[in-house]
Structure 1
Amino acid sequence: MATHKPAELTRTTEDAHGGTAAGWRVAAASALGLACGPSVLTVMSFGAFIKPLDREFGWGVPAIAAAASVLSITIMIISPVQGLLVDRFGGRRVVLWSSPFFGLSLMAMYFLPGSLSVYYVAWIVIPVCGLGLWPVSYLRLTAGWFDRRLGLALGVANSGIGVGTVLVPILTATLIGAFGWRAAFLGLGVVALLAFPVAFFLLAEPSPRTTDVQVSGDTLRVAATRRPFWLVLAAFLLLGAIGSSIIVHQIPLMQDAGISQNIANLVPVALGLALIVARIATGWLLDRFTVSVVMSFHLLGGVVAVLLFAAGPNVATALIAAALAGLLIGAEFDVLSYLIPRYFGRLSFGKIYGVTFAMFQVGGAIAASAVSISRDSYGTYTPAMLTLAFVCMVCTGLFMNLGPYRHQVVRP
């Protein structure tokens, strides 16, 4: 049975700045945890290991890069499991369980033998060991402390991924250059272990004694009977396709346009910096405008970005496109974390987030391959980028049809 009360209005004990000291501490700690979590340490470092592994084992770039699909599929499978565990045991406990295993799994890559099968299995084991460290654990914790400033708090927490997106590729390249790829995995494992003391000393579960935020709303089964649930799933399937296509293909796309490899490798920094800005700015905007308005604004920027990529960018337009793409990609999970409490309540936050995140991964896995096939078929990225512009517009329509919030905060 759902415990949702239609049109329920929730009043919190947030202070004049829209939160409590404990709540903001949790948001900041969540940012630190996400900066050294698997969303960054696996995804953003992956590409740096491709050439070193190829030089040592001779597996070939396509075979090594295929592990990225293994990683995406594994994340897709485990995301609903994580959501269930977080709803049942709380985010802090799940983070504490996972962080030692995740750090050790990265360190174990030091001993990787010359077997491609073992390499693929490793990219199943690593995300499973990091089961509790994907964003929903931290975001559910943060959301439990806030209502009136929920958007900004989630933006602060999510900014950790943006910071990691900028710093981890630099750290990984430096470690590989100085000590080799095996030692680089050891270094990343050490960084991963930082999540444990952060969680132990700084994360705290909200309770009726510390906050008046109501843990009520729809079960996953009831949410699935509502139209907004399916609109959200469809929208995030498309957002996964857009973001993955840009992140995976932006460098070869720029090289096709005649931009040198050294410069092309630096352009994604603009995306990473925009992603940091987007995390905070989107959170601030969500406290003032509806999800539909905020995402329509970002998706318009996404249309401009992919059209610039379709035209064959020069350095200046590539930087503009990367920045606009970073604003869109940076907004996605602020928006998901915010819309769940507003449309479905907080009761099944983890489960709904996990299912939606799985759909996001499906979109990413399909689109990254589809864009590669399109590039090989047409000899250019232009048709794929034009298709993504259309996808952005369809996604805008999905968000515009979500309707009004069902759980609205009372503003003072």
Structure 2
Amino acid sequence: MTTMDKPARPIRAGEAPSGTDRESTGWRTAIASLLGLTVGPSVLTVMSFGAFIAPLHREFGWGVSDIGLAASLLSVTVMIISPVQGYLVDRYGGRRLILMSSPVFGLSLMAMYFLPGNLSVFYLAWALIPVCGLGLWPVSYLRLTAGWFERKLGFALGVANSGIGVGTVLVPVLTAWLIGAFGWRAAFVGLGAVALLAFPVAFFFITEPTPRKTDVQTGGDTLKISARRRPFWLILGAFLLLGLVGSSITVYQIPLLLDAGVPEGIANLVPVALGLALIVARVATGWLLDRFSASVVMSFNLAGGLVSVLLFAAGPNVVTGLIAAALAGLLIGSEFDVLSYLVPRHFGRAAYGKIYGIAFSAFQVGGAVASSAVSASRDSYGSYTPAMLTLAVVCVICAGLFMCLGPYRYDAVHG
């Protein structure tokens, strides 16, 4: 039997393929990453948190602002651990971290079933839960996906990233149903069980990429060298500002609508428009990144964000509120597609996880500032309008930072 006559050996889970199997394995990893991000901590902690505020207030008598402080602790913890995750992903690989973190994260959510009426314990729990999900934050999946692609890098990252959009639409609905049907304690158990799905998805369908001889998958600048270059600081500044805009709209879109006189039942449905737009933006932005400069793509989306905050500043009705939410979803949905694309294009892949983790931390800093600044604006002026007008200026400055990035240093033609 000649070499050509030999049957192909199946690829085992986690084993790197070669030849024509490479692209199919890359897409399998991208789709598995989509599923993993759908049930990851970016969704299960952030998008479900609001649904637990009223039940916890009723049972323990804690103030809404006291409960909300835990969300800030969550953001601060993510800010701290993101560079750590990036370092570990670069050193040990994303698949290993996902497999180790999935059961721990799922069990940490289930442990909330036993939450006592002690606010300090509640705060401690929300500081520990993101640590338990250390390997499940987006950079693990995005580095895995990026390692398989060059010319279709943007689209592949968009497919993987769309998992957060899918989760943004589904998880709040699931959480509300679980709380209504079984109570808030059982809801945490249900969300923990959902989180465990990341383990079989990663084990059977995600493969750690290895470079071909003609690839530059492990090449590129070190973190130290990257930090000496202007694009590094422009990207950090841009994502700090994006954290301000995105978090402000995500957290305060319903209060903005209620202040404008939109009925509560309708206002609570408007975020669905944001979530659906976010899904579209994940995939569409990825497709566009393979064809146009990331600076142009992001500036276009920031123009939409500018219109969104101006509509919110004007006091939206149902129609303009839906338009504003959809435009905001297009911006928020594009943020991490662009980040995960910019890192390998400007710095290569050698320090992908570290650079992404630092930029993600900058984004979280912006989000933490937004949570307090927007509410302070409302308390001081009796309106969200000054904060929204400030965010309009932020959108313009952010677009300027992206336009200053300059050409890529590691384009697809080099791979």
**TM interval, short-chain normalised:** over 0.9
**Residue 112 of structure 1 corresponds to which residue in structure 2?**
115
Query: Which residues of 2 match residues 51-62 of structure 1 at below 5 A?
Result: 51-62=54-65
Instruction: Note if contact 2:79-2:364 (Cα within 8 Å) is conserved in structure 1.
Output: yes
Write the letter of the residue equivalent to 2:344.
P
Counterpart pick for 2:400 among 381, 397, 402: 397
1:407 aligns with 2:392: no
Q: Give the secondary-structure state (helix, strand or coil) at the position aligned to 2:268.
A: helix
Please report how far the alpha carbon of residue 214 of structure 1 lies from its aligned counterpart in structure 2 after TM superposition.
2.7
In the alignment, which residue of structure 2 is the partner of 1:341?
344
The aligned amino acid for 2:321 is A
Residue among 266, 275, 279 paired with 1:276? 279
**CA displacement, residues 99-156 of structure 1 (integer Å, 9 cap, x when unaligned):** 0000000000000000000000000110000000000000000000000000000000
Cα separation, 2, equivalents of 1:256 and 1:355? 36
Cα distance in 2 for residues equivalent to 1:60 and 1:14: 59
Structure-to-structure mapping, 1:244-393, within 5 angstroms: 244-393=247-396
Alpha-carbon distance, 1:189 to partner: 0.2
Aligned-partner residue type, residue 368 of structure 2: A
Q: 1:210 deviation in Å?
A: 9.6
> 2:78 is paired with a residue of what secondary structure?
helix
The aligned residue for residue 232 of structure 1 is: 235
Q: Is the 1:159–1:276 contact (alpha carbons within 8 Å) kept by the matching residues of 2?
A: yes
Aligned to 2:223: 220
Deviations 1:35-92 (A, max 9, x none): 0000000000000000000000001111001100000000000000000000000000
Residue 97 of structure 2: which of 94, 99, 104 is its match? 94
AA aligned opposite 1:369: S
The residue matched to 1:216 in structure 2 has which SS? coil
Shift of 1:14: 9.1
Whether the 8 Å CA contact 2:33–2:145 is kept in 1: the answer is yes
SS in 2 for 1:410: helix
Conservation of the 8 A alpha-carbon contact between 2:211 and 2:218: no
Measured on the aligned residues, the alpha-carbon RMSD in Å equals 1.5
Which stretches of structure 1, 4 residues or longer, exceed 4 Å deviation after superposition?
Answer: none
Alignment correspondent of 2:185? 182
**Count, aligned residues:** 398
Equivalence for 1:8: none
Q: What amino acid does structure 1 have at the position aligned with 2:355? A: I
Deviations, residues 379-412 of structure 1 (Å, cap 9, x unaligned) = 1111110100000000000000000000111299
8 Å contact kept, 2:216–2:414: no
Counterpart CA distance in 2 for 1:127 and 1:232 is 24
Q: What is the CA–CA distance in structure 2 between the aligned matches of 1:226 and 1:355, rounded to whole Å?
A: 15
Is the contact made by 1:14 and 1:146 (CA closer than 8 Å) also made in structure 2?
no
Q: CA 1:209 to 1:403, structure 2 compared with 1: closer, same or farther past 3 Å? A: closer
1:7 counterpart residue number: none
Instruction: Supply the distance in 2 between the matched residues of 1:250 and 1:55 (Cα, whole angstroms).
Output: 24
1:86–1:350 contact (8 Å) kept in structure 2: yes
What code does the residue aligned with 1:288 have? Answer: R
> In the alignment, what sits opposite 2:162?
159
SS in 2 for 1:55: helix
Cα distance in 2 for partners of 1:234, 1:116 equals 35
Say which SS state the counterpart of residue 44 (structure 1) adopts.
helix
2:149 corresponds in structure 1 to 146
Task: Give 2:10's aligned residue.
Answer: none
Cα offsets for 1:247-299 (capped at 9, x unmatched): 11100000000001110000000000000000000000000000110000000
Give distance in 1, aligned partners of 2:337 and 2:233: 19
Structure 2 counterpart of 1:82? 85
**1:208: Cα distance to partner?**
3.3
- The 1:331–1:19 alpha-carbon spacing in structure 2 relative to 1, beyond 3 Å, is farther
Whole-angstrom distance in 1 between the partners of 2:218 and 2:159 = 22
Letter in 1 for 2:287: W
Alpha carbons 2:94, 2:208 under 8 Å: kept: yes
Cα distance in 2 between the residues matched to 1:86 and 1:69: 25
Q: Distance in 2 between matches of 1:263 and 1:411?
A: 51
In 2, Cα distance between equivalents of 1:87 and 1:146: 17
Change over 3 Å in CA distance of 1:386–1:29 after alignment to 2: same
The answer to whether the 8 Å contact 2:32/2:202 transfers is yes
Whole-angstrom distance in 1 between the partners of 2:114 and 2:237:
41
Q: CA deviation at 1:201?
A: 0.4
Helix, strand or coil at the partner of 2:47: coil
Percent of aligned pairs sharing the same letter = 76
Unaligned 5+ segments in structure 2 are 1-17
Structure 2 equivalent of residue 24 of structure 1: 27
TM-score between both structures, scaled by the size of structure 2: 0.94
**In 1, Cα distance between equivalents of 2:116 and 2:414:** 59
Q: How far 1:367 sits from its partner (Å)? A: 1.3
Q: Which residue of structure 2 aligns with residue 10 of structure 1?
A: none
Amino acid at match of 2:206: L
